[in-house]
Amino acid sequence: MKLTVNGESHEHSGAGTADALLEELGATKAHTALMINGEVVPSEQWESTTLKENDEVEMLVFVGGG
């Protein structure tokens, strides 16, 4: 399935859920915020959120430091 992730084309071969995409990309729920087509998706809904061809996904991964 063809998606746009953080402004770049991405071919997703997983289960078609937001959770599967984030797993494929190596992101964790604890440190990631997700928007699909301009709408924030809470991490509790990632497993039930189905992605569609040409969806635009914005993923922000928080990194701690000091």
In this structure, what is the dihedral angle of CA atoms 2, 24, 32, 51, given to the nearest 10 degrees? Answer: 40
33 vs 42: CA distance, rounded Å: 8
Look up the pTM and report it.
0.86
> Residues 16-54: pLDDT tens digits?
999 999 999 988 888 899 999 999 999 999 999 999 999
pLDDT band at 64 (very low <50, low <70, confident <90, very high): confident
pLDDT of residue 27: 87
The SS3 call for residue 28 is coil
Domains in the chain: boundaries: 2-61
Indicate whether 61 pLDDT > 80: yes
User: Which whole-number Å values give the CA distances from 8 to 5, 54, 65, 66, in the listed order?
Assistant: 5, 11, 27, 30
pLDDT band at 66 (very low <50, low <70, confident <90, very high): low
- Find out if CATH 3.40.50.720 is the number for domain 2-61: no
